[in-house]
Structure 1
Amino acid sequence: MNVYVVGVGMTKFIKPGRDGNPDYPEMAAQATRRALRDANIPYSSVQVASIGYVYGDSTCGQRALYEVGMSGIPVYNVNNNCSTGSSALHMVSQLLKGGLYDCALALGFEKMEKGSLNMKFPDRTQPLDKIVLKTMEVGEQSSAPFAPQIFGNAGIEHMKKYGTKPEHFALIAYKNHLHSTRNPYSQFRDKYTLQEIITSPKIHGPLTKLQCCPTSDGAAAAIVCTEKFVLQHNLQDQAVQILGITMTTDSEKTFTDQSLMNLAGYEMSKRAAQQIYQQTGVKPSQVGVCELHDCFSANELITYEALGLCEEGKAGDFIDKGYNTYGGRVVVNPSGGLISKGHPLGATGLAQCAELCWQLRGMAEERQVPGLQYALQHNIGLGGACIVALYKKYNTKSGRPRKDQTSNPDILEKLEKEQPKL
Structure 2
Amino acid sequence: MGTQASKVFVVGVGMTKFEKPGAREWDYPDMARESGTKALEDAGIEYGEVEQAFVGYVYGESTSGQRAVYELGLTGIPIVNVNNNCSTGSTALYLAAQAIRGGLADCTLALGFEKMQPGSLGSTFDDREQPMMRHLLALAELQEFAMPPAPYMFGAAGKEHQERYGTTDEQFAKVGVKNHRHSANNPYAQFQDVYTLEEVLASKPVYGPLTKLQCSPTSDGSGAVVLASEDFVDRHGLAGQAVEIVGQSMVTDMNSTFADKSAISLVGADMTRKAAAKVYEQAGLGPADLDVIELHDCFSANELLTYEALGLCAEGDAGKLIDNDDTTYGGRWVVNPSGGLISKGHPLGATGLAQCSELTWQLRGTAGARQVEAAAGKDGVALQHNIGLGGAVVVTAYRKAEH
What residue is the counterpart of 1:299 in the other structure? 302
Structure 1 residue 343, shift from structure 2 partner:
0.1
Q: 2:139 is matched with which residue: 135, 142, 145? A: 135
The equivalent of 1:125 in structure 2 is: 129
Deviation, structure 1 residue 140: 3.2
Give the superposition deviation at 1:141: 3.0
Q: Which residue of 2 aligns with 1:405?
A: none
Please state if 1:204 is matched with 2:211: no
Deviations 1:247-268 (A, max 9, x none): 0000011111101001111111
Match of 2:3 in 1: none
* 3-state SS of paired residue (2:319): helix
Matches within 5 A, 1:194-273: 194-273=197-276
Partner residue in 2 for 1:406: none
1: CA distance, partners of 2:42 / 2:281 = 32
Work out whether 1:92 is the aligned partner of 2:96: yes
Residue 338 (str. 1) matches residue 341 (str. 2): yes
- For structure 2, which runs of at least 5 residues remain unmatched after alignment? 1-5
Aligned with residue 13 of structure 1, among 5, 10, 18: 18
One-letter identity of the residue aligned with 1:173? G
Q: What is the DSSP-based 3-state SS (H/G/I as helix, E as strand, rest coil) of the residue aligned with 1:4?
A: strand
Q: What are the equivalent positions in structure 2 for 1:250-399 lying under 5 Å apart?
A: 250-372=253-375, 373-396=380-403
Report sequence identity in percent.
58
Q: Which residue of 2 aligns with 1:418?
A: none
State how far apart, in whole Å, the 2-side matches of 1:195 and 1:141 are.
Answer: 28
1:106 maps onto 2:113 in alignment: no
Instruction: Specify every segment of 5 or more residues in structure 1 that has no aligned partner in the other structure, as ranges.
Output: 397-422
**Deviation of residue 120 (structure 1)?**
2.0
Task: Spell out, residue by residue over 1:254-306, the C-alpha distance to the aligned partner (whole angstroms, 9 max, x if none).
Answer: 11110100111111111110111111110111100000000000000000000
Amino acid at match of 2:300: S
Q: Which of residues 179, 185, 195 in structure 2 aligns to 1:192? A: 195
Quote the RMSD (CA, aligned, Å).
0.7
Shift of residue 139 of structure 1?
1.6
SS of 2:399's partner is strand
Code of the aligned partner of 1:125: E
Paired residue total = 394
Q: Deviations over 1:331-381 (max 9, x none)?
A: 000000000000000000000000000000001000000122110000000
Q: TM-score, normalised by structure 2?
A: 0.97
Alpha-carbon deviation of 1:17?
2.7
* CA–CA separation in structure 1 for the residues paired with 2:176 and 2:257: 26
* SS of the residue 1:236 aligns to: coil
Residue 68 of structure 1: how far off its partner (Å): 1.1
CA positional deviation for 1:67: 1.1
Q: State the partner residue of 1:36.
A: 40
For residues 139-154 of structure 1, what are the structure 2 equivalents within 5 Å? 139-142=143-146, 144-154=147-157
Other-structure match for 1:399: none
Q: Which runs of 4+ in 1 moved over 6 A?
A: none
Letter in 1 for 2:106: D
Question: What one-letter code is carried by the residue in structure 2 that aligns with 1:297?
Answer: S
- Match of 1:109, SS state, is strand
TM-score by length of 1: 0.93
Matched, 1:48 2:52: yes
Residues 1:168 and 2:175 are matched in the alignment: no
Deviations 1:26-74 (A, max 9, x none): 0001100000010111111101000000000110010011111001100
1:136, distance to aligned residue in structure 2 (A) = 1.2
